[in-house]
Structure 1
């Protein structure tokens, strides 16, 4: 297995800062926010209340699994992250899937030598039929995976391959979409180049209202749900 990293992603944080500096300059304002401006913005966010929310659920992980299966995902539970690579290998063998595997560089700490397929760390090309990723978090209410792209977490992994395997930790599962945004803020993440919410395999019903899977992305999504 060869290890390679994708360096094509831009330094979006720096680029965003430059854009904001130009905007403030055109407004005849200082390049950076004064301390009082920052405090006002933070106070506003702290005061802003959330809209109506669904009733709390006793087990968000169980709800996430139920909703994910309803979105045509398959799910396997494992007790620890160390079992995740083996679970991926088992799934590929059970489904008799062929093709090369592109794996998130952020998952380089796992032992991918267990895969019998040719595999590498990096963003998928058009020739990679299988992609393996983790997630930023997951939404139980809709069975949705949340991806916040970074250089070592390329968005193309859940968009290009025919088969997508996502490793989701139970601790990453939140109840609602609002909770997902709150989780990202708590993690201190800057707004990524791409923020994607994905519910199940790609599908369309554009032709005669007939559901077709894999129209704009993977037509097979398998989740490895890792215990706390």
Structure 2
């Protein structure tokens, strides 16, 4: 299948920068942050102590697998990245899923041309029934996926399609939510436009306390866990 980059999924951080610029102007502050402001913020984060934490576990990956299944995710393990595309193919075939597939541009290093369904690199258009993404990290304690959106990793991929397939490397699994924030800071990431914590398929019990899947997002979440 041919791949194409969705031109609509361009870097939109310029709008945020313009808003912050206006706020700084109204506060009579310079357009960009002074170096000492960044140092002060980093110092605050360094001094801030963490609260109580659960007891350490021997295997955070095994805990993540257990908790994500409890959150109604399905999961398949592969030994390396070479098995990711085939695992996606096998999963879609097992459920006879049809429709176009939106794949994160950040996963463009994989050969999606062999995917059985028509696919594109970029954010879902609204008509794509399947979205494939990676994650920023994953939280074992709650079986949660963490997404830090940017142009190459659009948040809509785990929000719009009916089926979401997420690629999680074993090395990305941390124990707690606090560990997730620490990991993001250690990667020197800029604060993204959206930081999402997703635990299983979308669900609601607003009507007669009956659980309904897919109310505000995908009703099917499948994980490809890479490595041990």
TM-score range, shorter chain: over 0.9
Separation in 2 of the partners of 1:113 and 1:34? 46
Separation in 2 of the partners of 1:224 and 1:165? 7
Separation in 2 of the partners of 1:165 and 1:8? 22
Separation in 1 of the partners of 2:13 and 2:96? 42
Aligned-pair CA distance for 1:11: 4.1
**Structure 2 equivalent of residue 183 of structure 1:** 183
Structure 1 unaligned residues grouped into runs of 5+: none
Separation in 2 of the partners of 1:211 and 1:113? 37
User: Would you say 1:42 and 2:42 are equivalent positions?
Assistant: yes
After superposing on structure 2, the runs of 4+ consecutive aligned residues of structure 1 that deviate more than 6 Å are: none
Separation in 2 of the partners of 1:56 and 1:42? 27
| Partner-residue secondary structure (3-state), 1:3 | coil
Separation in 1 of the partners of 2:193 and 2:37? 25
Separation in 1 of the partners of 2:14 and 2:127? 32
| CA shift digits 1:37-79 (9 cap, x unpaired) | 4333322221111111111111110000000000000110100
**Structure 1 equivalent of residue 95 of structure 2:** 95
Aligned-pair CA distance for 1:36: 3.8
Write out aligned runs for 1:111-122 (5 A): 111-122=111-122
Aligned-pair CA distance for 1:15: 4.2
Structure 2 unaligned residues grouped into runs of 5+: none
Separation in 2 of the partners of 1:38 and 1:169? 31
**Structure 2 equivalent of residue 223 of structure 1:** 223
TM-score, length basis structure 1: 0.92
Separation in 1 of the partners of 2:37 and 2:205? 48
Mean Cα deviation higher: 61-70 or 119-128:
119-128
Aligned-pair CA distance for 1:113: 2.6
User: Would you say 1:195 and 2:179 are equivalent positions?
Assistant: no
**Structure 2 equivalent of residue 52 of structure 1:** 52
Separation in 2 of the partners of 1:38 and 1:215? 40
Write out aligned runs for 1:1-228 (5 A): 1-9=1-9, 11=11, 13-227=13-227
Equivalenced residues, count: 228
Contact 1:12 1:192 (C-alpha < 8 Å) held by counterparts? no
Contact 1:3 1:122 (C-alpha < 8 Å) held by counterparts? no
| Partner-residue secondary structure (3-state), 2:110 | coil
Separation in 2 of the partners of 1:142 and 1:42? 28
Separation in 2 of the partners of 1:224 and 1:192? 24
